[in-house]
Amino acid sequence: MHQRRPGTHEEIEGFYCPGVDAWLGIASRRQRIRPGDGEQPPRVDQSTPWVRGVEDPDTVRSHCQGECVVLEERIQELWAQADRIGRPVVAHRNPGVSAEFLEQCFGVSVPHDVAVWFGWCNGIAYHPNQTQDEAALVPGYEPLTAEESAALRGEYPEDPVLGSRWFPVLGTGGGDFYAVTENRETKCSPVVSVMIGEATRIAANSLDELLDIFIECFDSGIFYNDADGSFQADDERWIELEESAVSDGRS
């Protein structure tokens, strides 16, 4: 489980943009949509201020209460862990975007934790000869842009585990992804893992819990660089942590 799909470690010019081909698992070598490639992602007015950007470290605190600040701190810690082991993704983090931008992009309001996530990072900047491994924040998974997330959300078939309100935040080159879901009746936002060819499952009871799992994976050596510098994971231990967290019901 959590194995990278074909093409994940191969050098390609950019990455494919998740969409209908993503869940079919047949487009792992497709280029990521970017300016000049023909088809364009949805055009969205970006004139509204960022919730969080590289140059604006404090703005998010004026938009969120303590719960959002705690989540942001976990996001920062995750990126710090990636930086600690020298992952190149850290140097290519796009600035965050505002909740208004996200509402325009998705066509609906987003949960506060989704707003904080994309407020810290709106995907990874493209550079020539970039590999998917270089763009990964956790092994095999890169942070999606809001446009990529909205495209995937619009194309993926109905899934009872995902429900009707779900927002992908991390994705692979083969169509696997993590999505924050929202149940307005229970006020819960579990994170769901979708892997092509496997049963959709709840990976964590909340986004901050998933980030805690990832941070623990860095701390305990479950996420590591191999001798060639490729980003790897002990998949069994990774899955065990997720399953244990969901079973314990901690958040």
Beta carbons of 105 and 150 less than 8 angstroms apart:
yes
The parts of the chain modelled with pLDDT lower than 70 are 1-67, 250-251
Per-state percent for the chain, helix, strand, coil, to nearest 5: 35, 15, 50
Angle at CA of residue 122, ends 241 and 133, nearest 5°: 55
Element (H, E) at 231: strand 231-233
Give the model's pLDDT for residue 187. 76
pTM score of the predicted model: 0.76
Hey, what domains does the chain have and what are their CATH numbers? 20-248 (3.40.1580.10)
The reported pLDDT for the residue numbered 230 is 97
Closest CA to 182 of 206, 151, 203: 206
172: left (phi over 0), alpha (psi -120 to 50) or beta: beta
User: pLDDT tens digit string along 72-83?
Assistant: 999 999 999 999
Cβ(12)–Cβ(134) under 8 Å? no
Report percent pLDDT > 70 for the chain.
Answer: 73
In the three-class reduction of DSSP (H, G, I as helix; E, B as strand; rest coil), residue 11 is classed as: strand
Report d(CA 193, CA 113) in Å as an integer: 17
Q: Could you give the residue ranges of the DSSP H alpha helices within the chain? A: 20-24, 59-63, 66-84, 99-106, 112-120, 132-135, 146-155, 207-220, 235-248
Residues paired with residue 191 on neighbouring β-strands, in sequence order: 180, 204
**CB atoms < 10 A from the CB of 70, how many?**
13
